[in-house]
Amino acid sequence: MSTPGDEYKTLSCYTFFCPQLPDLAMKLIGSLTSPYVRKVRVVMAEKKLEYDFVVEDVWAQDTSIQTHNPLGKVPCLLMDDNGSLFDSRVIVEYLDTLSPVGRLIPQQGRDRAATKCWEAIADGVLDAAVAINIEVNRRAAELRSQDWIDRQHKKIAAALDSMNKSLDDQPFCMGVNFSLADVAVGCALGYLDLRFPELNWRAQYGNLQRLDEKLQARPSFVSTLPPVK
């Protein structure tokens, strides 16, 4: 027997119940340039899932993102039961269960763990790159730490080298099948192109360049290409 509210207990660790919104369908709150948001959008395109995209500037003083995500970050997925999901790793795992079309995450075993590990290292590249971008563009020059920026660049270089070696001559990160690993890596590489074109990573990491050429030609990547500012 359950008591009132029990139906939410299994969700409380990852779902934040927001104030009632009128006529709520599945909506994705995000920005056009966030690589984490792009990862979710690519997955939704690959899975052929319908949703409304709500653009939100989380840096604006009048942002309402904390109404839906107390951490004040995007992406945030608003569902038809008035719940919200975050962050990108949680969202994409949930989305992959919604449709049998183009399963992106293996169901169990070492393949599943390996796919998530690829996602983790690609997200690590993003974490370091976003941190540099914020440090350089949003912190006063006299407060910036070049040593800290250099440390983030070293993380990016080490991760790119590791991914390039792991990919080897495989067509995709997990072998012959396109997966979430490729989505995560493609979004990370795309963000480096957007914010750090001077890195010229293609000159050093031929395996990643070959993969990226295939990924950026996919409709899911083409349709989510961030605007160049």
Residue 45 pLDDT > 50, yes or no? yes
Q: What share of the chain is helix, strand, coil (3-state, %, to 5)?
A: 50, 10, 40
- Domain membership of residue 210 (yes or no) is yes
**Are 70 and 165 in the same domain?**
no
Instruction: Report pLDDT digits (tens) over 174-193.
Output: 999 999 999 999 999 999 99
- Domain membership of residue 229 (yes or no) is no
What amino acid occupies position 79?
M
- Domain membership of residue 1 (yes or no) is no
| pLDDT computed for residue 138 by the predictor | 87
| pLDDT computed for residue 179 by the predictor | 99
Instruction: Report pLDDT digits (tens) over 107-162.
Output: 999 999 999 999 999 999 999 999 999 999 989 999 999 999 999 999 999 999 99
Domain count, the chain: 2
The residue segments making up the domain with residue 130 are 109-218
- The whole-number average pLDDT for the span 47-73 is 92
**Are 75 and 146 in the same domain?**
no
Q: Where do the H-state alpha helices sit in 50-179?
A: 88-96, 109-138, 146-167
Q: Residue 213 in 3-state DSSP? A: helix
154-158 own/partner pairs: CB under 8 Å, 24+ apart? 155/124, 155/125, 155/128, 156/125, 156/128, 156/129, 156/192, 156/199
Angle between helix 146-167 and helix 206-216 axes, rounded to 10 deg:
80
Tokens 């995709």 belong to residue:
172
162 φ/ψ sector (left φ>0, alpha ψ -120 to 50, else beta): alpha
What do you get for the CA distance between the two ends of the chain, in Å? 56
**Are 139 and 177 in the same domain?**
yes
Instruction: Report pLDDT digits (tens) over 162-172.
Output: 999 999 999 99
CA distance 202 to 35: 19
| pLDDT computed for residue 229 by the predictor | 63
CATH number at residue 143: 1.20.1050.10
Burial tier of 171 (Cβ tally within 10 Å: 0-12, 13-18, 19+): middle
Residue 23 pLDDT > 60, yes or no? no
Residue 18 pLDDT > 90, yes or no? no
| pLDDT computed for residue 192 by the predictor | 98
Residue 19 pLDDT > 80, yes or no? no
Burial tier of 89 (Cβ tally within 10 Å: 0-12, 13-18, 19+): middle
